[in-house]
Amino acid sequence: EEITTIKREYPDHILIASIMGDTDPASWQNLTARVQEAGADALELNFSCPHGMPEFGVGSVIGQNPSMIRELTRMVASDADIPVFVKLTPNITDISPAAQAAADGGADGISAINSVQSILGIDIESFDPLPSVCGYSTSGGYSGPAVKPIGLAMVSQIARTVRLPIMGIGGITIWQDAVEYILLGASAIQLCTTVMWNGYGIIRDMKAGMSAYLDRKGYHSPDDIRGAALSHLKTHQALDRSRRMYPVLGTRETCTRCGQCVTACRDGGYQAMKMSIDGPVVKRDVCDGCGLCFLVCSTGSLVATQEKT
């Protein structure tokens, strides 16, 4: 009923119906027929819910099992007259076989990621895991800015595995996050946590930011930059180790001689810095180029220099 109403009121907008059946394949077929009849433009198969569904043998349990992904996708795709997206779980060691299974089953696209399995915390006075439900709890899905690096890694793996459109999801909060997903191969992006925090109005701001970025860079469409960062991903072994980065004190005026960089370098394992009357000094022969000192300096006083090793 809601799908029909929304499509009647917003006929020019795309409505993607997310469905999740149970262990009986017929339940997926039934849902497919119903949302299609109601007017959905595309389907998203939820093979990734971490909230209780795995206890019933569905949700992320399906997304961890390539043969189940393949067979359920094949069944739905053969029934559906509209595009079928498969939503994958990050709660898996390697997402590539799952993406390949979706492609083999006839998916038209892949959505990733769903939320990351987590325990929110423990009340250290009562020992109750959080959120506490009468003293008990269970694991749940973590989302928002902290999961963006996980989403980016998984989307890049999917993009290198299958040639299907990808909807990038996970921690997208500002337009720059969306651009990063597109640079790693996403054709579209989805927002969840940021809309819950800031409202749908944030979409207008993000579109304006992306549009200004593309204009500034001289591109006409996101298609022009899609996947452009993928060729810059290599193995660890293939990275150029012939250069080393050293910190130098760039702006002596801003350095407060707080010693945070020296402490971090000492206890981070390298002992490559010592404090002088003018600020930190680096022992280049000991410096590993780890970058920890840059990270902890709150005044931005250190600048990177590169040298051939």
Ligand X SMILES: Cc1cc2nc3c(=O)[nH]c(=O)nc-3n(C[C@H](O)[C@H](O)[C@H](O)COP(=O)(O)O)c2cc1C
Establish if 274 lies at the interface with ligand SF4 (CB under 6 A).
no
Our CB check for ligand SF4 shows the closer of 23 and 306 to be: 306
The answer to whether 49 is a known catalytic residue is yes
The binder of ligand X chosen from 21, 105, 109, 171 (CB under 6 A): 171
Q: Is 170 in the site for ligand X (CB under 6 A)?
A: yes
Query: Residues 64, 89, 114, 156: which binds ligand X (CB under 6 A)?
Result: 114
How far is residue 150 CA from its own chain's centroid? 5
d(CA 221, CA 215): 9
Q: Which of 4, 198, 299, 306 binds ligand SF4 (CB under 6 A)?
A: 299
Helical H segments across 80-192, by residue range: 96-104, 148-161, 175-183
When CB distances are held under 5 to 8 angstroms depending on the partner's kind, the choice from ligand SF4, ligand X, none that residue 50 binds is none
- Kindly state whether residue 291 participates in binding ligand SF4, applying the rule CB under 6 A: yes
**For 160-165, which contacts have Cβ atoms below 8 Å and span 24 or more sequence positions?**
160/96, 160/185, 160/230, 160/233, 161/96, 161/99, 161/100, 161/103, 162/99, 162/100, 162/102, 162/103, 162/110, 163/103, 164/99, 164/102, 164/103, 164/107, 164/108, 164/109, 164/110, 165/108, 165/109, 165/110
Helices (DSSP H) in 245-285: which residue ranges? 260-267
Q: Is residue 303 involved in binding ligand SF4 (CB under 6 A)?
A: no
Q: Which residues pair with 42 in a beta bridge?
A: 16
Count of residues of this chain found to bind ligand X when the rule CB under 6 A is applied? 17
Contact between 170 and 151 under an 8 Å Cβ cutoff? The reply is yes
Minimum gap (Å) between residue 283 Cβ and ligand X: 42
46 contacts which partner out of ligand X, ligand SF4, none, CB within 5 to 8 A by kind? ligand X
158 makes contact, choosing from ligand X, ligand SF4, none, with CB < 5 to 8 Å by partner type, with none
Site size toward ligand SF4 (CB under 6 A) is: 29
Which of ligand SF4, ligand X, none does residue 297 bind to, with CB < 5 to 8 Å depending on kind? ligand SF4
Choose, by CB under 6 A, the member of 103, 162, 167, 293 that binds ligand SF4. Answer: 293
Please, what's the b/e burial string for 199-213 (b: 16 or more CB within 10 A of its CB; e: otherwise)? eeebeeebeeebeeb
User: CB of 126: closest distance to ligand X in angstroms?
Assistant: 25
- Which sign does the torsion angle of CA 130, 134, 136, 138 carry? negative
Output 4 or 299, the one with its CB closest to ligand SF4. 299
Q: Return phi, psi of residue 274, to 5°.
A: -135, 155
Residue 200 to residue 279: CA distance in whole angstroms: 47
DSSP 32: H
Contact between 185 and ligand SF4 by CB under 6 A: the answer reads: no
- 102 near ligand X, judged by CB under 6 A: no
Binding stretches for ligand X (CB under 6 A)? 18, 46, 49, 87, 114-115, 143-144, 147, 169-172, 191-194
Contact set with ligand SF4 (CB under 6 A): 247, 255-261, 264-265, 268, 270, 272-273, 279-280, 282, 287-293, 296-297, 299, 301-302
Supply the residues annotated as catalytic: 49
